[in-house]
Amino acid sequence: MKRLLGLGLTVAVVLGLVAPQAVAESGWGWAATWASSAQRPHPLVSPVRAVEGFDNDTVRQVVRISAGGPAVRVRLSNAHSTTALTVGGATVALAGEGAAVRPGTVRHLTFGGKRTVVIPAGGEIVTDPALLPVAPLQRLSVTLYFPTKTGQVTGHTFADASTYHATGDHRSDTAAAAFGETTQSFYYLSGVDVVALSPRRNVVVAFGDSITEGAGSTPDANNRYPDEVAERLKGRLPVVNAGIGGNRVLNDSPCFGPKGVDRFTRDALGQPGVRTVILLEGINDIGLPDVDFECSHPRTRVTAAEVIAGYRQMIHQAKSRGVRVLGGTLTPFKGFGYYSAEGEAIRDQINTWIRTSGQFDAVIDFDRTMADPADQDALNPAYDSGDHVHPNDTGYRAMANAVDLALL
């Protein structure tokens, strides 16, 4: 931390008036160190807060970053909202216990030098740099104050991380007393970036569905497989999570976000400093059409060839920007609610293509890592969270250990 503080003083000189362009002029850049993919809320799966919005409310969101740096900035998204969003103030601080933050670390975030901002419907914004030295795997609190009605919230439904709510303006509070309500979703917060002291792009983006998002892991424990990869790297490379539970490659969902081929540009290739994407998505394309549930609409059945065409589209998008793509084989789902023999045959065809096509820069064989030795179509019981598709903490650690760090 002393080293970061020293670097922070240097960066403070470079930043000058703390304008975003000052960093670019220094020859340094920005690297995503944490991310959350934005989606539209739906009353069937989202908290009431996300559907009804905020009004004279403060929201404190705790995130664990992957890599450190001498200064940070925060990205906010109003991409899926139909009304402009007024942010009456925002802060970032080192997180304490629960909703508390560490005294002396609160930094007011600004937008073009101002503490308030209006983000248009469909828009996104990045704050000015904040001089807050942060270490790898450190927990940060981002606190947003909404003085007026926000309308429906752009956010992330299944965060598996506690977000804290208070009535009134409590963005500067260091104590937790005012924050009497919690949910397990993110609101408007789409990313945290750190100053990248090296000009080399090195950010790793894990892109996918609930298995990337971390469903089945212990809430607030940061045991998702991208978290575990970040722990193995010990801050040498940033790793961010672009998973959305229920997401599909080829079809939008009213509950589970835009289809992968559409959101890939923003959620993966749009991450500052991205160099490598780990692509693990497709199991919901296979299974959700068999579920008669509003969130699974449209119930469009797909073939292996169609999913593979989606992969090719994303690979092409990445390579056109000089970004590497690692293909993750689809993990077993026998025993899950939408399992079928027909779906298993499609999964096998997709996995064979991933392993043998040569289209990916490398392959991570999550399927073989996670399969039950006694039944290759089923998840290893030691790795099963209980629903036969989502891993538990041990399973996510096994997935992370299957990633050859040299590939990153």
pLDDT recorded at residue 23:
39
Query: Taking 90 as the threshold, does the pLDDT of residue 18 lie above it?
Result: no
Task: Walk me through the domains of the chain, giving residue ranges and CATH numbers.
Answer: 2-191 (2.60.120), 200-407 (3.40.50.1110)
At 296-355, the pLDDT tens digits run 999 999 999 999 999 999 999 999 999 999 999 999 999 999 999 999 999 999 999 999
Mind spelling out the 3-state secondary structure of the chain? CHHHHHHHHHHHHHHCCCCHHHHHHCCCEEEEEEECCCECCCCCCCCHHHHHCCCCEEEEEEEECCCCECCEEEEEECCCCCCCEEECEEEEEEECCCCCECCCCCEECCECCECCEEECCCCEEECCCECCCECCCCEEEEEEEECCCCCCCCEECCCCCCEEEEECCCCCCCCCCCCCEEECCEECEEEEEEEECCCCCCEEEEEECHHHHCCCCCCCCCCCHHHHHHHHHCCCCCEEEEECCCCCCCCCECCCECCHHHHHHHHHHCCCCEEEEEEECCHHHHHHHHCCCHHHCCCCCCCHHHHHHHHHHHHHHHHCCCCEEEEECCCCCCCCCCCCHHHHHHHHHHHHHHHHCCCCCEEECHHHHHEECCEEEEECHHHECCCCCCECHHHHHHHHHCCCHHHC
pLDDT recorded at residue 28:
63
**Dihedral sign (CA 22, 27, 33, 38):** positive
266 φ, ψ to 5°?
-75, -50
Query: Taking 60 as the threshold, does the pLDDT of residue 5 lie above it?
Result: no
Mean pLDDT across 25-38: 82
How far from the centroid of its chain's Cα atoms is residue 199's Cα? 23
At 96-145, the pLDDT tens digits run 999 999 999 999 999 999 999 999 999 999 999 999 999 999 999 999 99
Quote the CA–CA distance of 146 and 208 in Å, as a whole number.
31
Mean pLDDT across 83-107: 98
At 204-225, the pLDDT tens digits run 999 999 999 999 999 999 999 9
Q: What pTM, to 2 d.p., does this model score?
A: 0.94
Query: Taking 70 as the threshold, does the pLDDT of residue 183 lie above it?
Result: yes
Neighbours of 1 (CB within 10 A): 11
Q: For tokens 């000189």, name the residue.
A: 13
Mean pLDDT across 27-45: 92
pLDDT recorded at residue 383:
98
Give the percent of the chain with pLDDT over 70.
93
Q: Is 67 left (phi over 0), alpha (psi -120 to 50) or beta?
A: beta
At 350-362, the pLDDT tens digits run 999 999 999 999 9
Q: How far, CA to CA in Å, does 389 sit from each of 24, 93, 138, 247, 334?
A: 44, 36, 30, 14, 7
What tokens were used for 345?
A: 């045959």
Query: Taking 80 as the threshold, does the pLDDT of residue 279 lie above it?
Result: yes
Mean pLDDT across 46-74: 97
Q: For tokens 């992330």, name the residue.
A: 156
Query: Taking 60 as the threshold, does the pLDDT of residue 8 lie above it?
Result: no
Query: Taking 50 as the threshold, does the pLDDT of residue 16 lie above it?
Result: no
Query: Taking 90 as the threshold, does the pLDDT of residue 31 lie above it?
Result: yes
Q: What is the mean pLDDT of the chain?
A: 93
